[in-house]
């Protein structure tokens, strides 16, 4: 149950004075469907207008916001039926300024600026045609109005239909609802860092006294960022503790099957594959449930580590499962693993959403009887009818494409199932702590022997004819080519038409050897297009960005990325990783439209300098921010609202240590501070963690 003290903050924004049904709809667009009072409090200003600058007219700085004390000298309404602006001349002893109002309400102007009256006007001062003017002043105030004017005015992010005034008034009303919450931070920590209380910090953000007060480095913002990071880390540590408390079952392999798999390989495992495998086996032989992340760069050999881990639990007489985010990837894992598995005596099955009913029933019966050792599939694996005889290990590929709930649902398919999560997106250390802090981490940093470096070049798009001619020469010599079309805004329709157009142009040049794959094709058509390319029936594959992570065509040696400046670094790196998977020399061409902006220039330079996915991920985080790096803007992983990892990353480790210390001393959060921390978890939407507490 949510603590009653928090109820005012979980009320709908529509319950605030001055927020009618229509405005509430606009707030829902701005803050999320269930816009609550707390969401409004956490919608912090992104800049501020400094109204403290009150010079004489002669000393006022041009092109800046100033507040002037003036006398109204003259009204100059537009003549007759003219649609010209209404002008008012105002002055002080040092000079004069024209106030300009377009499509003006004449009655309001005459009432607000009576001749001879003293007024304060605030807005942007500009020089136009040799005369100082202020177009549509933000404020026209008498003495009482001036007394109420905030010296520094917060500026909020808006959506269509909302104005600064709406958000300012609603934020004011939300602050009035803020209850006196017990302090959840350690007093010594607050004193050492000079941090204000939670309510004081929110007030300081919504009522800045200087523009610096809303900077991410201000003490109030640091306090709120730390609250959010602590809620995140505390929830992860609690999930982790719950996993550790859940009794596991030891799976002790004999090494017989995995030994046969290794013996059949044409190469030896890399050092980091051997290390990762040892860590996984150590986990699964303990009577504690495993929750481990296996992260490795493109082509670092994660699939093989997964297969050898699954073989270990089969040696112990149990079953394994591997879940991939798409059908094409599930099939690819199956095709890759099958020959290795079968020669080692492993029985391997495939289950996807498109299987015929008879085939599906046959697979499910074999699985329940224990006649399938390892089942590979899509999210079809965690449907109710799928029953294992004795599932020991679930491997989840591309974790960030699945929610935590789906991951855990697969873990419910057996008794105390160990979970191994794999990702081919190298994740910066701060993000590992943020999103995967409930897991142990194994990292593959080396590439298997025989992998060729990829020659990466940047070419301006006006030289596209040269690139097309080069592709012609390459396919004559037997090469296969990916041609990735640009990301057009975030619009699948436009992406599609760009790909369709490029496909038609290249087909005119090269004939029927050009294939096309895009996100709006039916699954079967997409698979067919990919299979034709894999078999070499088509040698040029035009694709939108749906070209799958992990799709493996070793014969493909050329990757062309159009409008490379529109892609994020991690995405460019993933796309480049589709080539260089065989023994042939590979190249990647980044076609860009000049001139390049600063960030795009930086991305392309980094791509040319390095193939190290971990370095690229760190740079991507620096250039784009955490939500973009993991694709969390789309996938619903919790991005932060108050913490900015480019500024507050140093607080993450502190929050992690604090969370671990709290739980070691007070595992059920029953102490005075523990009860206060429950409020924190609810406030930041981490209440799922509270449900794990033994004390309820």
Please report how many Cα atoms fall inside a 13 Å half-sphere around the Cα of residue 612, on the Cβ side: 9
Q: Where are the domains of the chain?
A: 4-48+156-214, 52-149, 256-444, 454-610
Contacts of 570 (CB under 8 A, 6+ apart): 425, 616, 617, 620, 629
pLDDT, tens only, 422-444: 987 777 766 776 666 667 889 89
Average pLDDT over residues 674-686: 93
Structure tokens at 439: 């897991």
C-beta separation of 557 from 587 below 8 A? yes
Instruction: Say yes or no to pLDDT of 489 above 60.
Output: no
Is 469 a residue whose pLDDT tops 80? yes
Q: Which residue has the tokens 């670094």?
A: 569
- Reported as a pLDDT band with limits 50, 70 and 90, residue 695 is very low
pLDDT bin (cut points 50, 70, 90) of residue 487 is: low
Q: Is 108 helix (H, G, I), strand (E, B) or coil?
A: helix
Whole-angstrom distance, CA of residue 657 vs CA of residue 233: 9
Q: Closest Cα partner for 120 from 77, 57, 164, 42? A: 57
Average pLDDT over residues 39-57: 93
Distance, in Å, from the CA atom of 667 to the CA atom of 693, rounded to the nearest integer, reads 8
Please, what is the average pLDDT of the chain?
Answer: 87
- With CA atoms as reference, report the closest residue to 60 among 140, 121, 138, 149: 121
DSSP 380-449: GGGSTT---SSEEEEEEESGGGS-HHHHHHHHTTSSS-EEEEEESS---HHHHHHHHTTSEEEEE-SPPT
* Rg of the chain over all Cα atoms, to the nearest angstrom: 31
pLDDT at 338 over 80: yes
User: What pLDDT is recorded for position 415?
Assistant: 78
C-alpha–C-alpha distance, residues 670 and 518, integer Å = 53
Which fold, 52-149? OB fold (Dihydrolipoamide Acetyltransferase, E2P) (2.40.50)
Hey, what are 113's tokens? 């600026």
What percent of the chain stands above pLDDT 90? Answer: 57
Distance CA 539, CA 487 (A): 23
The reported pLDDT for the residue numbered 493 is 57
Measure the CA–CA gap between 678 and 691, rounded to whole angstroms: 10
Instruction: Tell me if residue 105 falls in helix, strand or coil.
Output: coil
Confidence of residue 634 (pLDDT cuts 50, 70, 90): very low
Indicate the CATH number of 454-610 among 3.40.50.300, 3.30.56.10, 3.40.33.10, 3.60.21.10: 3.40.50.300
pLDDT of the residue at 410: 61
pTM listed for this prediction: 0.65
- CATH fold match for the domains 256-444 and 454-610: yes
Taking CA atoms, 470 is separated from 6, 465, 474, 511, 513, in Å, by 65, 9, 6, 16, 16
Residue 292: both structure tokens together: 């481990």
Percentage of the residues of the chain whose pLDDT score is greater than 70: 90
| Correct CATH for 256-444 of 3.40.50.1240, 3.40.50.300, 3.40.50.10800, 3.30.70.141 | 3.40.50.300
């Amino acid at each position: 149950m949510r603590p009653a003290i928090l109820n005012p903050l979980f009320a709908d924004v529509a319950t605030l004075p001055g927020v009618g049904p229509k405005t509430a709809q606009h707030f829902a667009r701005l803050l999320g469907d269930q816009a609550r009072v707390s969401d409004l409090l956490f919608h912090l200003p992104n800049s501020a207008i400094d109204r403290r600058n009150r010079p004489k007219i002669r000393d006022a700085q041009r092109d800046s916001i100033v507040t002037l004390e003036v006398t109204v000298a003259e009204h100059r309404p537009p003549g007759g039926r003219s649609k010209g602006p209404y002008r008012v001349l105002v002055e002080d002893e040092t000079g004069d300024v024209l106030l300009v109002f377009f499509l003006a309400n004449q009655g309001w102007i005459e009432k607000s600026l009576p001749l001879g009256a003293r007024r304060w006007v605030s807005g942007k001062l500009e020089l136009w045609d040799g005369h100082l003017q202020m177009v549509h002043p933000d404020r026209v105030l008498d003495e009482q109005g001036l007394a109420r004017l905030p010296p520094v005015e917060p500026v909020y992010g808006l959506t269509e239909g909302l104005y600064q005034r709406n958000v300012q008034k609603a934020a004011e009303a939300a602050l009035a609802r803020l209850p006196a919450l017990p302090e959840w931070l350690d007093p010594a920590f607050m004193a050492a860092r000079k941090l204000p209380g939670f309510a004081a910090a929110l007030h300081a953000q919504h009522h800045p006294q200087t523009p610096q007060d809303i900077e991410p480095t201000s003490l109030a913002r640091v306090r709120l960022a730390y609250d959010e990071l602590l809620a995140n880390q505390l929830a992860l540590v609690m999930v982790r503790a719950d996993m550790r408390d859940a009794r596991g079952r030891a799976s002790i392999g004999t090494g017989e099957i995995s030994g046969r798999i290794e013996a059949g390989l044409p190469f030896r495992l890399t050092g980091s594959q051997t290390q990762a495998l040892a860590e996984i086996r150590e986990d699964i032989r303990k009577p504690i449930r495993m929750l481990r992340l296996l992260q490795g760069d493109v082509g670092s050999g994660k699939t093989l580590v997964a297969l050898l881990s699954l073989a270990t639990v089969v040696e112990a007489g149990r079953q394994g499962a591997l879940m991939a985010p798409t059908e094409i990837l599930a099939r690819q894992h199956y095709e890759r693993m099958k020959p290795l598995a079968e020669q080692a005596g492993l029985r391997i099955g495939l289950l996807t959403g498109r299987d015929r009913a008879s085939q599906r029933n046959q697979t499910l019966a074999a699985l329940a009887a224990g006649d399938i050792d390892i089942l590979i599939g899509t999210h079809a694996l965690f449907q109710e009818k799928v029953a294992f005889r004795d599932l020991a290990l679930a491997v989840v590929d591309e974790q960030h494409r699945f929610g935590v709930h789906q991951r855990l649902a697969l873990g419910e398919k057996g008794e105390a199932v160990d979970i191994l999560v794999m990702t081919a997106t190298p994740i910066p250390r701060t993000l590992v702590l943020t999103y995967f802090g409930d897991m142990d981490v194994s990292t593959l940093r080396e590439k298997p022997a025989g992998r060729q470096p990829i020659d990466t070049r940047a070419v301006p798009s006006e030289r596209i004819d040269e690139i097309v001619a080069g592709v012609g020469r390459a396919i004559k010599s037997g090469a296969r080519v990916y041609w990735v079309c640009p990301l057009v805004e975030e619009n699948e329709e436009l992406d599609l038409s760009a790909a369709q157009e490029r496909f038609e142009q290249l087909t005119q040049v090269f004939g029927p050897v050009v294939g096309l794959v895009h996100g709006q094709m039916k699954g079967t058509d997409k698979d067919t297009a990919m299979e034709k390319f894999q078999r070499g029936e088509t040698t040029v594959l035009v694709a939108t960005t749906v070209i799958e992570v992990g799709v493996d065509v070793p014969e493909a040696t050329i990757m062309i990325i159009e409008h490379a400046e529109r892609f994020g670094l991690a995405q460019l790196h993933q796309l480049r990783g589709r080539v260089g998977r065989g023994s042939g020399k590979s190249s990647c061409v980044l076609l860009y439209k000049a001139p390049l902006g600063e960030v795009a220039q930086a991305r392309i330079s980094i791509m040319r300098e390095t193939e190290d996915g971990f370095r690229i991920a760190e740079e991507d985080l620096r250039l784009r921010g955490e939500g973009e790096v993991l694709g969390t803007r789309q996938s619903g992983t919790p991005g932060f609202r108050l913490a900015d990892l480019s500024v507050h990353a140093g607080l993450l480790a502190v929050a992690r240590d604090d969370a671990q210390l709290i739980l070691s001393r007070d595992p059920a959060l029953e102490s005075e501070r523990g009860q206060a921390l429950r409020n924190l978890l609810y406030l930041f939407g981490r209440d799922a963690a509270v449900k794990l507490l033994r004390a309820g």
